[in-house]
Structure formats: C-alpha cells, structure tokens
Amino acid sequence: MEKERKDSSARLGKTYDYILNQIAQHGSLYFILIDPDKTNSNLKKFVRIATECGVDGFFIGSSLLLSQNFERCVKITKENTDKPVIIFPGSIYQISKFADAILFLSVLTSTNTEFIIGQQTIASPIIFKYRIEPISTAYLLIESGKMTSATFISQSKPIPRDKPEIAIAYALTAQYLGMKLIYLEAGSGADNSVPNELIKAIKSTVETPLIVGGGIKNPENAYEKANSGAGIIVTGNILEDTPPTKIKGLISDFVRAIHRK
C-alpha cells in the first residue's frame, strides 16, 4: 500500500507539465469533451480515431449526470488512448480513479459559494484518496446569447461579452490566487463563442494558460481562438452532431487549425 501511494504521488503534476510542454511545442492544444450522458457503444472507436488524428487530450464531464456511465466512460477512454484523460466535473459525483487528472474547478462567476469553494471542500478528500492529479482551474462563464446548462447549474452571473475589463479582473484574481488554468466558457451549445477580442485582452494581461470552450462550430472558429491566445480549445457538441463517416476528417481539420506552430 505504501509503495502504491509513493508511485501515485510521483505521478502528480505530470499531466499539467504535459499541457505546458505541448503548448510550448504547438502553440495551442485541442481537447475533446466527452459527455457521459451522450456516449454510446462507439466510444472506444471514437477515442481511437481522435487519438490517431492527433488530439491532445480528453475532458470528461457533464453539467448534469443523468446516467450511470461516468466511471465506465472514463475507463474506456483511458484504455483506448495514450493522451491525458482529465475530468471536467459538473459535481462531486464526477470523480474517477481511472482518470489522469481532474480540473479542480472554482466557478468564480457563481453567485453561490457552494460552487466556489463548497463542493471543492467535499471533493478534496476523495481526490486525495484516489491520488488523481488536481489542476486548480478558474471557471469563468462568458455571456453567450442564451441561458446554458453550465450557467444555470452553477448559478453564475456571466461576464458581459463587451466588457473585457471585467474578464481581465477575474483572470487576474485567478492568477493571483495561484490557479494553474483559466477556463473561459460560453457553455455547451452556446449561440456565441467567447469573443476573440476578449481572449486577446486577457492573454495580454495574464500569464496563466487559457482554456476556451463553448459554441466553437468549425475549425475556422478554432483557429481564431488559437490565434487570439487560447492555450487549449475544447469542442464537444459539434462532434456529437457530426455523422460518423465525417468524424475523422473533422477532427483532423480541428487539429491542423489549432496546432499553430
């Protein structure tokens, strides 16, 4: 048992180091978000295809967890890729020992302290027990044109799209608190993605790597986000809505658009 603990402890930090090294190499990274509520029997094949196409990693999580597929989803993904499998938790019920790491999210735009520090406190002992690598991440909801599940569930007051100074203030707060990543989220299925100008404004102010997700509908959109300073670009819905015969081509197009170097 003691040996297992030491081996697990030695792995802590490796996923975050991988992210920083890959950003330095490629400029921007492409992560695919897998929703456990929407997975099917083709998950194994999908993960293998995405890995072959050059995706940099996988996030797994959902705003709502309506099925019992979470643990199975993480396990299958991990078994079929050599890329990092990172939990993007919607609640304390989304923790798995099979994951490489977990985004230790604090929803700074929430109006409820339960999503800023409450659920994190409950989750911490579980993360410690499983020896999952925690990556402290500030989660900032950006106004996207409609109410999204992430905004509703987290009880957030989204940052106005045309107020970069507010977004910068939140980003600086995250950096000064020592958070390792800043996640700018428009929300799953958002009408509008995070504005390029807002990404540029934040990137010119903070050194913390930026994750950008929500409403990114094509590789051209992804390229714009990468060119504006996003360190990691995330898509989910667009792949879920793509016919199986076109998945490989679309993922490859995203990879080429995002790997700017």
Average confidence score pLDDT of the chain:
92
pLDDT at 6 over 50: no
- Domain of residue 149 covers 2-258
Q: Each residue of 68-89: pLDDT tens digit?
A: 889 999 999 999 999 999 999 9
pLDDT at 243 over 90: no
Q: Please report, rounded to a whole number, the percentage of residues in the chain having pLDDT higher than 70.
A: 95
Is-contact 34 60, C-beta < 8 A? Answer: yes
Q: Which residue has the higher pLDDT, 130 or 244?
A: 130
User: What band does 63 get if pLDDT is binned at 50, 70 and 90?
Assistant: confident
pLDDT at 2 over 60: no
Q: Look up residue 236 and give its two tokens.
A: 């989910």
pLDDT at 11 over 70: no
Residue type, 242: T
pTM: 0.92
Please give the tally of structural domains in the chain.
Answer: 1
* pLDDT score recorded for residue 244: 85
Q: Which residue has the higher pLDDT, 206 or 11?
A: 206
pLDDT at 9 over 90: no
CB proximity list for 130: less than 8 A, separation 6 or greater: 95, 96, 97
Assign residue 82 the CATH number of its domain. 3.20.20.390
Q: Each residue of 131-169: pLDDT tens digit?
A: 999 999 999 999 998 888 889 999 999 999 999 999 999
CB proximity list for 120: less than 8 A, separation 6 or greater: 104, 105, 106
CA distances for 42 relative to 39, 88, 105, 111, 254, angstroms? 8, 21, 29, 38, 20
Residues in the chain: 261
User: What band does 105 get if pLDDT is binned at 50, 70 and 90?
Assistant: very high
Weakest-pLDDT range from 17-26, 127-136, 240-249: 240-249
Q: At CB < 8 A and 24+ separation, what contacts does 167-170 make?
A: 167/140, 167/142, 167/198, 167/201, 167/202, 168/201, 168/202, 168/205, 168/206, 170/108, 170/109, 170/138, 170/140
pLDDT at 257 over 60: yes
pLDDT at 21 over 60: yes
* pLDDT score recorded for residue 12: 63
pLDDT at 7 over 80: no
